[in-house]
Structure 1
Amino acid sequence: MRDRIIVKKELIPYGFNIALGKEKFNMRFAYNKQADLFTVSLYRDGKLLCHAEPVVYGVSLFRDVYESGVFPMPDIVPYDESGQEQSVTWENFGETVFLTIDNGK
């Protein structure tokens, strides 16, 4: 089983500090009910690195804006290890679909 970032969707909008690799970041989550879409903004040392990145099943977060030495090293991918889900929804996020950390292990 991959490591997971636990998001407490019932607290959204909210954020938390997290160590990813050797660096510390702040992740802030939001939810658009009409679109059934989660987003995440990423901060490092109080500086906004990425605003409202959509949480899309199977797609690494921040891949379109990734910059080595600025963003977290491991890939963060919304994924269902049971293979039952193919999208991220309010019903399955944090239940069967989790933000998994793919650190090459």
Structure 2
Amino acid sequence: MSVRNYIPIDVDDLPEQFDYDIDGQTYILKIDYNEQGDFFTVGIATEDEDWIVKNWKMFLNRPLFESVVDDRLPATALVPMDESNQAKRISITNFGDTVFLYEDTLDSDIDPNELMPVDSDNQGDD
């Protein structure tokens, strides 16, 4: 179970363009895959199709658009992550399996401590 909200992306149907609501606004996201380089790109536009960023290459654990200064971008960071910490990079084999594009905020309905197994050997109860 994920502790963050993620953006569902169908890697079998790329390129994919869809509306996505975040921070009280609707954006258009376009996800594409570069087969030669085995990497994904993303673009973001206002709901009026005013493209803010096109073809931004996604990197694991790095916020999208991190160096772009534009007030039209959402304040909430969008970050490709593997919450299981298995992946070293984003690829066609792991995107949508263990790697997802997340809103980098914790889901307020989930206590992350409840998801973490507790090893009694580390609790000093011997």
Q: What's the TM-score once normalised by structure 1's chain length? A: 0.93
Which residue number corresponds to residue 61 of structure 2? 58
| Secondary structure of 1:57's aligned partner | coil
Residue type at the aligned position of 1:58 = N
Mapping of residues 89-100 of structure 1, within 5 Å: 89-100=91-102
Which residue number corresponds to residue 87 of structure 1? 89
CA distance in 1, matches of 2:106, 2:82: 17
| Secondary structure of 2:73's aligned partner | coil
How far 1:86 moved relative to its partner? 1.7
Gaps of 5+ in 2: 108-126
CA distance in 1, matches of 2:86, 2:52: 32
Q: What's the TM-score once normalised by structure 2's chain length? A: 0.78
Count of aligned positions: 104
Gaps of 5+ in 1: none
| Secondary structure of 1:19's aligned partner | strand
CA distance in 2, matches of 1:91, 1:17: 25
Counterpart pick for 1:22 among 15, 21, 24 = 24
CA distance in 2, matches of 1:59, 1:81: 13
Q: Is the 8 A contact 2:4 2:106 kept in 1?
A: no
Bigger share in strand: 1
Query: Equivalent pairs: percent with the same residue?
Result: 29
